[in-house]
Each structure stands twice: as structure tokens, then as C-alpha cells.
Structure 1
Amino acid sequence: MKKLLISLIASAAILASPAMAQDKKLKIGATTYGLNAEFMQLWSAALKQHPAVKSGEVELTVFDGRYDALVQQEQFNTMITQKFDAIIFVPMDVEAGAAAVQAAHDAGIPVVGSNARVNSDLLTSYVGSNDVEAGELEGKAVLDKMGCKGNLVILEGPIGQSGQIQRLEGNEKALKACPDVKVLEKQTANWSRAEAQTLMENWLTSHPGQINGVIGQNDEMALGAIEAIKAANLKVGDFAIAGVDGVTDAINAVKGGQMASILQDANAQAQGALDVAIKAAKKDYQPESAIWKQYPSMKWDDGVVKDYLVPWTPVTPQNADQLLESRK
């Protein structure tokens, strides 16, 4: 009887060993800056379609940060208390998000950044795209159509978010090549189509007949400007307009010759970030997403690269239908 009891205790110890614990379902959370607009909806949907989530290897929770850095801090606190294995972070604020990363790091939870930057050296990795490059590309698209002359307005993202900061840097790089172009207005519309429409309506009234171009730091704001132009009974084709993201309405607007856009690959950013997060929590993990084959220039390198940069894809009338088909 004594031997049997010792045998049962030994068996229980083996089952509780770290080697066996490696096979447990991983709890991974993702906090996004907000889920109101299409791009972050696409990003979140891509996470849920990751092979490791669909197979049950990962238990995924996606949090809506509601465009508030304090809300995201509370979401971090929840994930720390519930002992999540890893966190994916799309921060609202480049500075305010650092405290949340510090708290997770102190609790021994790896944090992977995605889509937007946070000013912290404690991230395991970052999986996103080069926003300075995007700002320069969209700025050049507007300025080329304007023939490097005239006046334009800039619709900015939320002040203090990395996309706003870096895309503005890119916008200004493009503008340096056209010193005769004047920026009449520059203001945040918080990535919002409705806010951008209101701003553009005001600008069209205060600068009648003077605005030739619109740089929208995302597609939603560029589309809001288009709605304002239509509401003022002006011709959209008379304006040079560009955005960033490649959301569905923007792709259709590119097809219609109304604007330019650059595709930010939400699927690659989200699934790449999840692969890296799983690797941080489970050392023998090999990536399961197909995105590493899709973008061979983005080397996996055992999941320890500090910056994984997903390339931009210009949206054109030629590739628009293919991009729309991929959304179905």
C-alpha cells in the first residue's frame, strides 16, 4: 500500500512538471487603442483567425481601449492580475503606454507591440509598418497630383499617438520637395471620418476656392474630407487626396479615381505579433501564420527580432479588385 502511495505521488509530480506545463493552453491578451473603425476591426479579426487560436492552442482575449490610455492601463492591470502569458499592445499614446509595459515587465509578462509605437525599451518585439515612410508616400501622391504648387490641408491622427507623430514627419519630408506649397490648416480628426468631415466643411468655408490638396493621415479621415467636398457641391476630382490603410471604402474610392491610398496589412501585423507573443511565452514554438512566407523580406529569425516591419502596398486601380476579394 505504501509503495502504491509513493508511486501515485511520483506520477502527480511528473504531471505537474514544467515540461508538461509547456503543453497548457496559453492565455494571450491584446489591447487595441479602439475598435470603432475598420482598420483595427480587421486587425482584431486577423488575430482570431490565427492557426494557434483556431486550434485552441491559444486562448485569446481582445480588449477595446476606447481611445483612452487610462482604459488601456486598466486592461493591463486585469491581464497582470489574471496572469496572462503574453500581451500584444496597440497603444493609444506613445508616452503614456510606457507605464503599462513597465507593469507587465515587472510581473514577468512579455509585451509585443503592434501597429503603433510606445516609448519603451521593454517590449519583446514590435510588429508593424514604417509610418514615416507611409506619411512620405501619401504626401508625395498628393503633391504629385498638385504639380508641386498650390495649397493643402492635413488631417492628423490623435495627437501623441505614434502614427500621428511619424506620419506627420513623413508628410513634412514630402513637403520639403515642394517649397512653394502652403499648408493652410493642420489639425487632428482623431482617425475619425465624421470628425474629418466636419473639419473639412469648416475649412472649405474659411478658405473658399483655395484648397487644392488633402493629406489624411488615415483613410477614414481622407474619406471624411471627400464627403465634405461632395456636400459642398464641389468636384472631388478637382482635389488631390490621399490616405493610409487600404480600408474597403478607400479601395473603392481609389477605383473611382477619388483618392490615393496605401495598404497597411492588418492581417500580417496582427498574426505576426501573435506568433512573436507565443514564442516569448513558449520557447520551442515555431510560427504558424502564413505571413512569413507572404513577406520573405521579413525574416522570422527565431522570433527575437526587435522590429518586424511589414511592407506597404500602394493601392491601385489594377490591384483594387484583388484586395477587395481578400476581404471576403
Structure 2
Amino acid sequence: MKKRLVAMGLTAVMAMSLLVGCGSGGSNNTSSETPAKDETKKSGYRVAYIARAQSDSFAAWLANEIMAEAGEYDDITLDVFDGQADDEKENTAIENAISSKYDAIIVQPNNGEAQRPYVEKVVQNGIIAITTNARIDGIEGASSVDADPYKQAAVNATLALEQIPENARVVVLNGPSGNFHADERRKAWQAEFFDKRPDVKIVAEDFANWNKDEAMALMEDWVIAHGEIDAIISMNDNMAAGALEVVAGKPGYEDIFVYGVDGTAEALLLIQEGKMTATCLQSAIDLSELILDTAHRLLTGEEKQIDTDIAAPLITKDNVDEYIKIYKERGLITE
């Protein structure tokens, strides 16, 4: 039976629910309208989550998981806002959250350095600040919940050392320039793979900005310009899936190696089908649980500052089924 990707439909949900913001507490409210006051609800904390972009499949997945996890806390009301992959819009959303006097503001940066001064304003206004996916380092008084992007790429690069053939021709898809996760993953590939495999030639490399369509456009050009390509090295799954879609079914690309990061539902199914080689799980499930736990501990005064990471497990054909099972249990993949 053909499997249906619920996760890839999340962007449509996000488009509706994030334009203005959606409240969630004991239950999730996905309406853009202000929810009616619930007199029986316990007084608690107001938390704003500023999402990077609903058009990014991982960002959409993370925002939905955060909304679901917030529902487990009866003293937290969560509002989610869409940065629309635009620094100006994201910064405006942060400023609006400050003006609205939220108790905590969680920021998923579009461009860490562009958001840095605005997160600093959060701290200066006495509001709890948390940066996530990717963290913004060096903001005194701010906390962070993230994954280690160097490790995420390094587990793929170590595998690729053994798999990619001698004198291979590869293409590289990068995330946004200046993005902490994008830059660190590229550094890891350089140090853990390219520096150790001087025989491998990068025939093309460019920024696809986490975007599937941009990756497809680049790959279409690269196939025409360079012909034989032995591997696609991508800094996330969304770009990897886009590039792979271009060469799917084309003669000469049946054995292409494809590496990504995130462990999205789409990537897991591609690995199960033998079309994608490996990914590193950046679990939005684990991340959301840790984000809300961190926010709650800071809000209640249990801790003053927290900087923590989730794990970075490698997913290949050997273990992909166990992760697909988890996704099925959460309704992210259905038969």
C-alpha cells in the first residue's frame, strides 16, 4: 500500500494557523481569532513562539510539535507567529511580542545575526528569551535549545567516507549563508569528508536556502552542465529531496548517494525505498519536548539559564523502519 505523508502537508496547516498566531494551552486552538476567555483555565504563563517559516517543512513540523507539546502544560498559553523566511517580518514579530509583554519569547531565527539585536531586546525587557534551531550564541541572559549541527553532518560524512567511490563527482546544497546550522554542517563535511577524500571533486555547489524548489532548480542546471553526478550532499532533507526528484528515474542516476539532515517523514520514506542514502535525525518531537520543558523551568524559576542539545542519530536503511514506526504512531505517516 502507498504510504501517505502527513508531515509534508503541515505547511498547509501552518499557512492557516500562523498568519496571525494561534493559542494553545490545555488544548490547541488553531484559529487566527482571539480565543474566548476560559474562566476555568488556571492562570499561568503567556509564551510566544516565532517560527522561521511555514514554507520550510522542518520549521512547519517543529511549530506543530511545539503547539502539541504546549497542550501538555495547563499553565502555559502558547501563541505561534510566522516569520515567513523574512528577517524584517521575523524581527517585527519579536518586537510585537515584546510589546505584548509575553512571559517568554522563543525564537527560531531566520538569520541568527539579524535576529540577535531583537533577542537582546527581549532580555533587556526582562522577558525570558530562548533561541532554537538554530541557537544564537553569546546573548547574555538568553537560553537555548538546539541540536549540534556539526555532529549532524559529521555522522553522514563518516558514512560517506566508506560509501562514495574513488574519484567521485559530487554536488553540494547549502542552507542560508550565515545560518549557524548551515555553516556548521558545511564545516563538518569539509573537515570530516572532503579534507580526507581529496580524490572527490565538487562539480557544483550553491545555496538553496533549505528550500526544495530552489534545490530542484539548481539540480536541473547541474545535470545539464555536468552530466555524471555520483552523490548529492545536502545540508538538509528538504533540499536533498528536491534534488533527488530531478534525477529520479533518469538513466545513470540509479545508484546516486544522497545525504541530508532532519529525518523528515519524506526523507525516511525515501531511505526505505532505497532512493536516499542517509539522514541525521533532528527530531522535532524531541526538540519541542525539550523547548517546552526548558521554558517551563525558566518560567517557574527552577533555573535561570539553560543551554542544551538533543541527540544526533544517523538513519540509514538498516534502522529506518524503527523511526518510521515512531512517525506512524504519531500520525505523521499513514498507510
TM-score bracket relative to the smaller structure: 0.7 to 0.9
1:187 alignment partner, SS class = strand
TM-score, L = length of structure 2: 0.80
* Counterpart residue type for residue 135 of structure 1: A
Give 2:290's aligned residue: 272
Query: Does residue 1:114 correspond to 2:114, yes or no?
Result: no
Q: Identify the match of residue 58 of structure 2 among 36, 39, 44.
A: 39
1:198-277 equivalence runs, <5 A: 198-209=217-228, 211-230=229-248, 233-259=250-276, 260-277=278-295
* Counterpart residue type for residue 58 of structure 1: I
Superposition CA RMSD, Å: 1.9
User: Is the 2:58–2:264 contact (alpha carbons within 8 Å) kept by the matching residues of 1?
Assistant: yes
User: Is the 1:237–1:257 contact (alpha carbons within 8 Å) kept by the matching residues of 2?
Assistant: no
* Counterpart residue type for residue 117 of structure 1: R
2:112 alignment partner, SS class = coil
Once the two structures are TM-superposed, the CA of residue 143 in structure 1 deviates from its matched residue by 4.0
Give 1:291's aligned residue: none
Once the two structures are TM-superposed, the CA of residue 201 in structure 1 deviates from its matched residue by 0.9
Give 1:95's aligned residue: 113
1:326 alignment partner, SS class = helix
Cα separation, partners in 2 of 1:234 and 1:126, compared to 1, 3 Å: farther
1:238 alignment partner, SS class = coil
Distance 2:167 2:105 in 1: 46
Once the two structures are TM-superposed, the CA of residue 28 in structure 1 deviates from its matched residue by 0.4
User: Is the 1:69–1:93 contact (alpha carbons within 8 Å) kept by the matching residues of 2?
Assistant: yes
Give 2:101's aligned residue: 83
User: Is the 1:151–1:184 contact (alpha carbons within 8 Å) kept by the matching residues of 2?
Assistant: yes
Once the two structures are TM-superposed, the CA of residue 183 in structure 1 deviates from its matched residue by 1.2
User: Is the 1:86–1:278 contact (alpha carbons within 8 Å) kept by the matching residues of 2?
Assistant: no
Once the two structures are TM-superposed, the CA of residue 148 in structure 1 deviates from its matched residue by 4.5
Q: List per-residue Cα deviations over 1:244-271 (Å, max 9, x = no partner).
A: 1111111011112222111111111122
1:244 alignment partner, SS class = strand
> Percent identity at matched positions?
26
Give 2:83's aligned residue: 65
Once the two structures are TM-superposed, the CA of residue 230 in structure 1 deviates from its matched residue by 2.0
User: Is the 2:107–2:132 contact (alpha carbons within 8 Å) kept by the matching residues of 1?
Assistant: yes
1:139 alignment partner, SS class = helix
* Counterpart residue type for residue 39 of structure 1: F
Once the two structures are TM-superposed, the CA of residue 25 in structure 1 deviates from its matched residue by 1.6
Larger radius of gyration: 1
User: Is the 1:34–1:40 contact (alpha carbons within 8 Å) kept by the matching residues of 2?
Assistant: yes
Give 2:11's aligned residue: none
138-147 or 150-159, which moves further after superposition? 138-147
1:191 alignment partner, SS class = coil
Distance 1:148 1:120 in 2: 41
Once the two structures are TM-superposed, the CA of residue 32 in structure 1 deviates from its matched residue by 1.6
Give 2:306's aligned residue: 305
Distance 2:304 2:233 in 1: 35
* Counterpart residue type for residue 256 of structure 2: F
Q: What are structure 2's unaligned runs of at least 5 residues?
A: 1-41
222-231 or 84-93, which moves further after superposition? 222-231
Distance 1:123 1:146 in 2: 44
Distance 2:186 2:316 in 1: 23
More helix by share: 1
User: Is the 1:86–1:109 contact (alpha carbons within 8 Å) kept by the matching residues of 2?
Assistant: yes
Distance 1:81 1:120 in 2: 24
Distance 2:158 2:180 in 1: 20
User: Is the 1:189–1:221 contact (alpha carbons within 8 Å) kept by the matching residues of 2?
Assistant: yes
User: Is the 2:175–2:207 contact (alpha carbons within 8 Å) kept by the matching residues of 1?
Assistant: yes
Distance 1:68 1:193 in 2: 17
TM-score, L = length of structure 1: 0.82
Cα separation, partners in 2 of 1:54 and 1:105, compared to 1, 3 Å: same
When the two structures are aligned, how many residues end up with a matched partner?
Answer: 285
Give 1:193's aligned residue: 212
User: Is the 1:135–1:171 contact (alpha carbons within 8 Å) kept by the matching residues of 2?
Assistant: yes
